[in-house]
Structure formats: C-alpha cells, structure tokens
Amino acid sequence: MQTIPFYKMSGSGNDFILIDNRENILGDIGLDQFIVQVCRRKMSAGADGMILIEAAEDLDFKWRFYNSDGSRAEMCGNGARCAARYAYLNDIAGTEMVFGTDAGPIQASVSGDRVRIGMTPPFDYRPPFVLNAGGHAVEVSFINTGVPHAVIRTDDLATAPVVDLGRAIRQHPEFAPAGTNVNFIAVEDSSRLGIRTYERGVEDETLACGTGAVAGALVYALENGTPAPIDMLTRSNKRLTIHYELDGDNCRQVFMEGDARIIYTAALTPDAWQY
C-alpha cells in the first residue's frame, strides 16, 4: 500500500498538512482533487491548506501552497512559519533560511517553536473607501501583503458579521477576478489589535491568518502613524507580532513573528484521498 508521510502543523490555529515533495512523489495530475480530499475535516486528515516542500537550485527550498479547496495561493504567513520550522527539523535548511513562494523569496529565522519571517513588500494600499456589500455601506481599506486583504474597523469584534459580510466582500466586483480575504480589526490598546478573518480559498472564518494579521497591522499603522511593533490577537487567542518601518504612505522591512507547532507526524494511506 502506498503511503505518504506528512506533518500536521499549526500556526496560531491555522492548520496545514506538509509533505516533502522534493522527489516529486506527488505528480500534478489530479493534485487539486487530492488536496481537496485530504483537507476534508472528519473524513480525512483535515486542514486549512496543504504545503508541498520542493527543491530549488538557488534557495534552501521552495513551496507550493494550496488552500483546502485546491486553489493555489501566492503566500500564507502562518503557513510560511510552519514550512520554515519543518525545513529546519528535517535538515532541509538551517535556523536561517530563504525559500521561494509565488509571492517572492521569504527569509525566515527559527528559534524553537517560534519563527520570524520577512514578508514580501506590501503594495496596492488603498485608504478607507465605501463599498456597498451585503446590503450595507461598509468602510473598507485594502492592502496586498502577498495576497489581497480588505480591512474593516469594528468596535465589537465578538459580534462582527465575519462570515456573512466577509463572503459578500470576498466576492465583490471591486476585487474581481481574484477576490480578496476580509479582516475585521478592533483596537484593544495603542499597540494591540484583535482580528478575525474570512479567508479566500477556505471560504470561511479561520482561527488565524498570518498575511491578514500583517494587513490589519499595516493598515492601522498607516492610518494612525502607529510605531512598530503591533501585536495582533487572533481568533485562536494566539499572538502574532508585526514589525515594520513606516515610510510615508508605505511600510518597509515588514516581519511577522509567531508560533509554528507540530501537532503530529503520520502517513496518509489511499483511504485518505480515495473516499
């Protein structure tokens, strides 16, 4: 029986299946369906996404990142931290590394179960504008932190309509054709924000979103002149620390630090993807 070794990892509650694909054990034919099947909760291993670790000539490694619906994403901050720790633990890279993503090369530094990653330069920042979505006029900011993110300020994060309004904005023509992730942020104090995220590709709220936490922090910093760092408290109650340098209407030298935990190691059998 063919089996596929994997790690199940969690970055602040965002969970992933990581597979060493440097020997191309997974071909491209039927890969999207394989990912959908394996990422099913209760019916298979279950995860928010899958990360394939692959060989790269000029970097420590490269990855292919997939959402649980089989769609490929350019970047995932929580996934990047997990990939870095996986690479270190499996002698693919040292504690300091650079690996390739569809959004560009990522620097990472591993210290125990904490990982600090350098984010790709954010771009396409749009200050608050009004969007008609879900039957409401909503004030939204936007920034791309490797993947697109809409950011909405709220006074009550607990009752924010993350799924309903998040889905309406995610599919809004303003962000077509790629769509966007949608983040709701609330100020807890001058250097700490709460955040909840509706994730494109998962098509639901997740317990954390790394690029979303970066987006929320940078939008808040740009609109309020807030110096770094900012702590982002995710739905999982885990903290992501965002470092950056403000440069007028831009942010430079953006880093994110947070946990990357091994939940278990195991092997997938054909029953995981054939049922």
Q: Which of 89, 105, 116 is nearest to 57 (CA)?
A: 105
What span, in angstroms and rounded, lies between the C-alpha atoms of 122 and 224?
A: 17
pLDDT in tens, 242-271: 999 998 888 999 999 999 999 999 999 999
Q: Which residues are designated catalytic?
A: 76, 209
What span, in angstroms and rounded, lies between the C-alpha atoms of 81 and 75?
A: 11
Residue 1's pLDDT is 61
pLDDT in tens, 105-154: 999 999 999 999 999 999 999 999 999 998 989 999 999 999 999 999 99
Q: pTM here?
A: 0.93
Q: Which domains does the chain have, with CATH numbers?
A: 4-113+261-274 (3.10.310.10), 123-256 (3.10.310.10)
Neighbour-count burial of 47, counting CB atoms closer than 10 A to its CB (0-12 exposed, 13-18 middle, 19+ buried):
buried
Q: Which residues of the chain have pLDDT under 70?
A: 1
Give the tokens for residue 3: 């089996």
Residue 199's pLDDT is 96
